[in-house]
Structure 1
Amino acid sequence: MTSPNESGRQAIRRDNRRMVGKLLVVTVAMFGFGYALVPMYQAICDALGINVLSLSERLVPGNASHRATAVNTQVDTSRTITVEFDANARGPWDFKPAMRSITVHPGEMATVMYEFRNVQNRTMAAQAIPSYAPKQATAHFNKLECFCFNEYMLQPGESKQWPVVFVIDPKLPRDVTTITLSYTFFEVGGRVPAAPAGFQSAAPAQEPRS
């Protein structure tokens, strides 16, 4: 005959086995749910058109297309903007865009490479300042990556390439069909040159009236 103490211990062991079994079931269920989250998330994003995984693809410098391959639902495909690239070198060096113009849709991410070569026999520090035409395009030209305003040190004969990654705001006035992005490259420590002709510059100070 089983004693009361032995019956109690057996009951506790049965309860423990049941608890372990329940915990194992919960653990397996949680693992399966976590594993299923990835395809579920991907399917939901694809169905709603908000697949951030595909939007994270960025343009790789050197790509011959010079375009981002990601699909952006904010792109205005009903219109195109011609972006012209200009380079002004204030000094004895070579500075130019890899392409003279590109056609993009507002909201579309694009890039252009600028090339620079120090043709002097001395080390130099230089930087670039941008300007835009027409004036109303300035607030709608959004640069995601740019070499402007950074100071660069170049050794004699050294060549550099820098990308300009940009997006034109779809709110750009519809009468603007061409934008010119111009860079003026100058040596640091020298006099900052005036903006190229046809581009907005600071208004000259008025002389006091006598």
Structure 2
Amino acid sequence: MTILKFPIIETQRLLLNKLTVEDRDTIFAIFSDPKTVEHYDVERFKSVEEADQLMAYFDARFASNTGIRWAIRDKSSGKCIGTCGYTNWNEFDHSAVVGYELSKEYWGKGFATEAVASILDFIFADNFHFYVHRVEALILPTNKPSQQLVKRLGFHFEGKLRGKCYWNNDFHDMDMFGILRHEHRKENF
């Protein structure tokens, strides 16, 4: 069974919904910012067309029922401030891999924590279209704020994956964090 309609999630301060073509400049600004991609497993964007390609990739993941990516919007303004979602979910081993990023002017204000907590609630819900037992986060060892974010949400550090990812002509280690369904506490933001 697949999700037929793109789900919308509301939190105290955020609206998570589908990315639109109007969000392309925001996505480009995020992924072309050297401070943002410093801790992200992509090369810095050089053209707005790369934002279009990334959003098309997110749409394809949803259409193929292998993942989902929401726009993170500030409820008060409606402005897209980042994205979050599952870059991969696997019905056969009952797992998913979470990812997220925010425009740097929104860092340190709890928006990412609020967004990720809400999508954990979504995927661990009894009415999700398959049973998810485990969610993983792969984080660069240098990205201490992101490590603290997932730890606050109940993830556990499980080890270093040496040479796991390749970008900018080099291999990079990734730290693996995981949370099991029974470890998840539904948070109210």
TM-score by length of 1: 0.22
Q: Which structure would you say has the larger Rg? A: 1
Greater helix share, structure number: 2
TM-score by length of 2: 0.24
